[in-house]
Amino acid sequence: MIEAYFIHLLILIGIYLILAISLQLSIGYTGLLNLGHMAFFCIGAYASALLALSGFPFVFCLIFAGIMAMIFGFILAIPTRKLKGDYLALTTMGFSFVIYAIALNWTELTRGPLGIPGIPKPSILGISFSSNLMFLVLTIVVALLSYLIISRIVRSKFGKVMEAVRDDELSARVLGKNSFKVKFLVLGISAFFAGVAGSLYAHYITYIDPSSFTLMQLIPILCIIIIGGMASMRGTLFATIILVLLPEPLRFIGFPSSMVGPMRQIIYALVLLLILLYKPKGIDGKVEM
């Protein structure tokens, strides 16, 4: 029993980690104030769920979920390329509301508020990942790969250009760097990983509905990247573990289950406020927003 619970928490940590490091890529490293991350997560989850239900193999669904989200990332990047600061934040947030409204209303495709039940557990080359332990192994592999790829990106030459665009876009352009191209690629890559996380989430919970992809769900992720610190991969990893575990004691104190949800949100919101007020650089932040 207690093992099953720990496995569940570890899977959540894996999924949140992918979401957080991919958001870190756009906010922390490139300074793109992207508040539409849940939209990519949502697109990935729905794409993967619908494909799997039509009989496609899991690996295809996972990759296609990422690509689908990436396409939307590119689509969002083109019109927003000139926006800055809070305008960009608002537009990306608006984008996530539009995606939410579509998920809720395009009932022929998404079944709207009823959600999509019975998403099959993954199986790769005949190996079934239907037990939670096996799913954990899968999540760890995907999370680790994502972590390594993103670490690689931020350490590469391209990563340096990203940071240059964040610190001083004008100078980066004076040095001949195409800042629009950088932003375009970063938003796409960031969306790709969010889509992959969405696919994992859909196949783990086996049920998705639009309510899993709201603004409320963005708060924990923002919390993670701010506590972890801007542009810090290690910090993000620590923060993910801490923040997934933080509200868990609530389960054992014996509050009625209707209270636990709002209390989790209160904890996340309070932690976020306190960190912004008293330790804005987070655990290991390189720069302040």
Partner 1 sequence: MSILLQLLINGLIAGAVYALVASGFSLIYSTCKFIHFAHGAVIAFSAYFLYFLFAILGLEFYISVLLSVVFASLLGYGLNFLVYKKLRDRKASDFILLISSLALLILLESLILMSFGAEVKTIGFIEVSKGIDIFGAIITPLQIVIIAVSVLLLFSLLLFMKKTRLGKAMRAVSDNKNVAEIIGISSEKIYAWSFIIGSALAGVAGILIGLEQNLEPTMGTSLIIKGFTVAIIGGIGSIPGAILGAFLLGLAENFGIWYLPSGYKDAIAFVILFLFLLLRPKGILGIKREGDKEQ
Position 4 contacts partner 1 (CB under 8 A): no
Contact stretch for partner 1 (CB under 8 A) within 51-59, 145-153, 174-182, 255-263? 255-263
28: exposed, middle or buried (Cβ count in 10 Å: 0-12, 13-18, 19+): buried
Position 74 contacts partner 1 (CB under 8 A): no
Position 238 contacts partner 1 (CB under 8 A): no
CA distances to 25, 74, 86, 160 from 156, in Å:
13, 21, 28, 7
Position 1 contacts partner 1 (CB under 8 A): no
Residue selected from 56, 74, 94, 145 as contacting partner 1 according to rule CB under 8 A = 94
Rule CB under 8 A: which of 32-61 touch partner 1?
Answer: 33, 35
3-state DSSP of 103-115: HHHCHHHHCHHHC
Position 119 contacts partner 1 (CB under 8 A): no
Contact stretch for partner 1 (CB under 8 A) within 2-10, 84-92, 145-153, 236-244? 84-92
Which positions lie near partner 1, rule CB under 8 A? 33, 35, 79-80, 82-87, 89-91, 94-95, 97-98, 101-102, 104-105, 112, 170, 215-216, 219, 222, 226, 258-259, 261-263, 265-266, 268-270, 272-273, 276-277, 280, 288-289
